[in-house]
Amino acid sequence: MNPPSSSRIKVRPATEREGRKDYITIKDYGFWYGQKKALDAISLDIPERQVVAFIGPSGCGKSTLLRNLNRMNDLIDDIRHEGDITINGRSIYDPGLEVISLRRRVGMVFQKSNPFPKSVFENVVYALRVVGVRDRAVLEEACETSLRKAALWDEVKDRLDDSALGLSGGQMQRLCIARAIANRPEILLMDEPCSALDPIATGKIEELIHELKDQFTIVIVTHSMQQAARVSDRTAFFYLGKQIEYDTTEKIFMNPSQAQTEAYISGRFG
Amino acid sequence: MASSSDSSTPRGEAWVWFTGLGLIIGLGMVIGLLSLVFVNGITVFWAPPVPVAQVDDGRTIIGQLAQRRIRAGSPADQPRYELQYQVGLRELNGNSYLWVDETKIKAEAFPADVLGLERVEHGPAFVRPQSLRKSDGKVVLITDSAFESALQAEVSAAAEVREKFEEITRHRIGDVNHEMDEARVALRRAEDLKLADEIAVRRRQIEGLEERFVILKAEAQKIVNGGAVALLDTKDAAGREVVIPLTQIVRAWFPNRLDTWGRTQLFASRLGEFIFDEPREANTEGGLMPAIFGTLVMTVFMSLMVTPFGVITAIYLREYAQKGPILRIVRISVNNLAGVPSIVFGVFGLGFFVYVLGGSIDQLFFSDQLKYNNNTPVFGTGGLLWCSLTLALMTLPVVIVATEEALSAVPRGMREASLATGASKWQTIRDILLPASAPGILTGVILAMARGAGEVAPLMLVGVVKLAPTLPFDGTAPFLHMDRKFMHLGFHVYDLGFQSPDSDAARPMVFATTLLLIVLIVFLNLGAITIRNRLRARFKGASF
């Protein structure tokens, strides 16, 4: 087995930080859309405050898995699952756990930026508004903090009351990140956050992911191998609903144990 | 190897023309109808010159040309026309309108002394005035150059007197009557319950009101008999002498003397009367203010009622209801509701809203009124509220369907973004979905308004009347009287066109009223469209 020709792909050495090693645990997880099985026997642990990338060809189930982490797939009719997902030891399917409170702890950024047709300010503080925060000072502070974390503050601080729809594509996506982190979730899910962005905006968002992982556990789905290599500590490779390999990013990209993984990351299929 | 793709002759797409044809036919019919209504409606107020025509049989006709049509039975290649003149003076001629064969007219002249009159009773008149006996006793002859100004001065003086008289008879005596009714009901109640003090108070109140009534009546009488009445001596077409008291005259003009400016002024004055005054002469003359007001108020209330109902229903159907056969049946039923004949809604409105709901309201809150006022219902009879509700029910499917469409057209990303931040479903609907679908909802409301404002059949059953004595809005508490019957432009068209004893006289008013109704609906819609466009501008640039 030859190491993949990775001259183009620069792998960041994995950083070990303190925190639970099994912060998110996915165990023997299977998932069906109607009769179609989308995920099969997924088992992986995601450590606290690390970035985990899901990679794989289209339709491999990586987005489905991501969207199950905050039960976004509940919006779809006729779904069913087996196995379990726990966050910090508690099952997300626990009947005593409300979906709403789960989603407040697990923020999400989507493939297409989807700001609300409201002002920049109202977009950012929306998550606080829905939990009933009315205090203007608190909202303003949260707005500034989130926008700073999302590296957008300097660009929009003078136009907080303008419509968010007037921002550029990259700004909109960073605004969505700011919105997702405004109520301080523990986990941030990113579903191909850069697929619609130009390289400069992509670079900014990747930089942002580095910054954010000090505070959040980040799960990112990406089609870009380079991106996975650049931003993640661990990488999982999926193919046809199955988990092929899950290891440190360095290992996956430098020395994958599965031939399929190697073939995919070296661009021979996918 | 000549395939169609490399042919050098460009090939047209025949079906494009076909779709264009559909548009042209549709547009043609709409424009044709609108221009028919517009031309006929607007010319009602224009005063053309009035001819004096000599007919073969020795008759003379003074009248305004109303219509020209081909005589029935005349050969198609050589059509013979007949003319309809509005000659007025119904009390003498028996009919205001006259048909004459065009070929039988020997001579036609436009003498300057022909006078057109609009009168309080018996419709218009076209006469040749001789002299004016003024209220101060002086006589002005037609040959006198001051005749016209003297006539107009007397007409406006008479109008003032009429106005004062109206003020007393309609408003002040009306108020007394209203109070009297209330006092009588209270008296009957007091007598029934044997409340001695109350009986005495009420009796005294009634006596006081009766006194006021007598005083007002005398006052009104004094106004009418106050000064000497000015009289206009005229001759009609046949040369008969006709004396017309000035109190009868609403408007006088010399149709053959007016220049274009004068005709324009007359036009504006008549149009103003049409819009701002109350009807006269079994609704065939005067204005339509009560009907305009009634239509407007009813349409607004209908919209206010149908919008929340429709939106709430649509939210439940789209967002909360469990998908399955029952939901499908409900949807189909709602859509079919739009196809139910409107008169059926009227019958339902009468049976349910008026009798059941209105009857119950009367039993609960107006039982005294029922018991002591000869069972006169308050809400248990047709009225503004029931009309608005009936039409709201009728237009409900439009709003439901539009709202459902608008909700489903909100990009999924927006909904997901809201839910992903931890908003509940209701918060998502309230903060995100409803604002984003507001333009679509308003489109539904616009359609509902257009349908509701033009509807007549159901209204006849639930509260629209030919002539309402009072507006649904006035100075007495609670100011807006939802229980009152009211007038409606659509019903007015039907009533004038098909229920009027003199259909010739009513014909121009039918067109004018139709035009007014169309203009009113256009303005209501423009208002709603403006709001919608403002909302739309807020969401412009949403890239999902």
Q: What is the ipTM of this complex?
A: 0.87
Residues of A in contact with B535 (CB under 8 A): none
Question: Which of B273, B303, B335 corresponds to the end of one domain?
Answer: B273
pLDDT at B28 over 70: yes
Specify whether B243 is located in the same domain as B181: yes
Which of A:5-64 have CB within 8 Å of B?
none
The set of long-range contacts for B412-416, using a CB threshold of 8 Å and a minimum separation of 24, is B412/B544, B413/A110, B413/A112, B413/A114, B413/B544, B414/A114, B414/A116, B414/A117, B414/B544, B415/A75, B416/A72, B416/A75, B416/A108, B416/A110, B416/A114
**Domain span including residue B400:** 289-539
- Average pLDDT of the residues in A39-49: 90
Specify whether B339 is located in the same domain as B207: no
Q: What is the DSSP letter of B471?
A: -
Name residue A155's amino acid. Answer: E
pLDDT digits (tens, 9 = 90+) for B185-210: 888 888 888 878 888 888 888 888 88
The C-alpha angle B117, B122, B149, rounded to 5 degrees, equals: 20
Specify whether B323 is located in the same domain as B437: yes
SS3 of chain A: helix, strand, coil, percent, to 5: 35, 25, 40
Cβ pair B436:A117 closer than 8 A: yes
> Among A67-71, B267-271, B461-465, B482-486, which is the least confidently predicted range?
B482-486
Of B202, B200, B221, nearest to B210 by C-alpha is B202
pLDDT digits (tens, 9 = 90+) for B420-435: 998 999 999 999 999 8
Fold of A24-265: Rossmann fold (3.40.50)
Q: Given A75, A116, A127, which is nearest B422 (Cβ)? A: A127
SS3 A243: strand
Specify whether B293 is located in the same domain as B185: no
Question: Which of B71, B95, B124 corresponds to the end of one domain?
Answer: B124
Question: Which of B241, B273, B305 corresponds to the end of one domain?
Answer: B273
Alpha helices in chain A (DSSP H): 62-69, 99-105, 120-124, 126-130, 136-149, 153-156, 169-181, 199-212, 225-231, 249-254, 259-265
pLDDT at A1 over 70: no
Confidence of residue A11 (pLDDT cuts 50, 70, 90): low
- Average pLDDT of the residues in B147-175: 85
Cβ pair A117:B544 closer than 8 A: no
Cβ pair A70:B420 closer than 8 A: yes
Q: Is residue B478 reached through a cis peptide bond, with omega within 30 degrees of 0 on the bond before it? A: yes
Residues of A in contact with B423 (CB under 8 A): 100, 126-127, 130
Q: How far apart are CA A268 and CA A249, in angstroms?
A: 19
Domain-by-domain residue ranges, chain A?
24-265
- Are residues B514 and B508 in contact, defined by beta-carbon separation less than 8 angstroms? no
Specify whether B323 is located in the same domain as B395: yes
> Among A150-154, A209-213, B298-302, B368-372, which is the least confidently predicted range?
B368-372
Residues of B in contact with A166 (CB under 8 A): 541
pLDDT digits (tens, 9 = 90+) for B223-261: 777 667 788 888 888 888 889 988 888 899 999 988 999
**B8 falls within a domain:** no
The b-or-e profile of A4-21 (16+ CB within 10 A means b, else e) is beeeebebeebeeeeeee
- Are residues B460 and B488 in contact, defined by beta-carbon separation less than 8 angstroms? no
> Among A40-54, A142-156, A184-198, B469-483, which is the least confidently predicted range?
B469-483
Please spell the DSSP secondary structure of B400-460, one letter per residue.
HHHHHHHHHHS-HHHHHHHHHTT--HHHHIIIIIHHHHHHHHHHHHHHHHHHHHT--HHHH
Per the structure, how many domains does chain B have? 3
**B19 falls within a domain:** no
Nearest-CA distance from B328 to chain A in Å?
A: 16
Distances (CA, A) of B534 to A123, B404, B438: 21, 21, 11
Cβ pair A114:B414 closer than 8 A: yes
Q: Which residue has the tokens 């990747």?
A: A206
Residue of A nearest to B430 (CA): A130
**B31 falls within a domain:** no
Under 8 Å CB-to-CB from B452, ≥6 apart: which residues? B298, B299, B302, B303, B306, B391, B392, B394, B395
Q: How far apart are CA A74 and CA A213, in angstroms?
A: 27
pLDDT at A244 over 50: yes
Specify whether B148 is located in the same domain as B68: no
**B295 falls within a domain:** yes
**B457 falls within a domain:** yes
Confidence of residue B8 (pLDDT cuts 50, 70, 90): low
Of A41, A75, A99, nearest to A246 by C-alpha is A41
Extract the tokens encoding B122. 């018996």
Specify whether B293 is located in the same domain as B429: yes
**B75 falls within a domain:** yes
Specify whether B120 is located in the same domain as B142: no
User: What average pLDDT does chain B have?
Assistant: 86
Under 8 Å CB-to-CB from B315, ≥6 apart: which residues? B403, B407, B429, B434
pLDDT at A15 over 70: no
pLDDT at B35 over 90: yes
Specify whether B195 is located in the same domain as B333: no
Residue of A nearest to B540 (CA): A165
User: What average pLDDT does chain A have?
Assistant: 86
Confidence of residue B38 (pLDDT cuts 50, 70, 90): very high
**B38 falls within a domain:** no
Please spell the DSSP secondary structure of B498-528, one letter per residue.
HH-S-HHHHHHHHHHHHHHHHHHHHHHHHHH
Specify whether B388 is located in the same domain as B241: no
pLDDT at A12 over 70: no
- The pLDDT score that the predictor gives to residue A6 is 42
Query: Across the A/B interface, how many CB contacts are shorter than 8 Å?
Result: 81
Nearest-CA distance from B323 to chain A in Å?
A: 9
- Average pLDDT of the residues in B316-332: 91
Under 8 Å CB-to-CB from B49, ≥6 apart: which residues? B110, B255, B256
pLDDT digits (tens, 9 = 90+) for B75-104: 888 888 999 999 888 888 888 888 888 888
Cβ pair A165:B543 closer than 8 A: yes
**B421 falls within a domain:** yes
Confidence of residue A53 (pLDDT cuts 50, 70, 90): very high
Cβ pair B420:A104 closer than 8 A: no
* Share above pLDDT 90 across residues of chain B, in percent, rounded to a whole number: 29
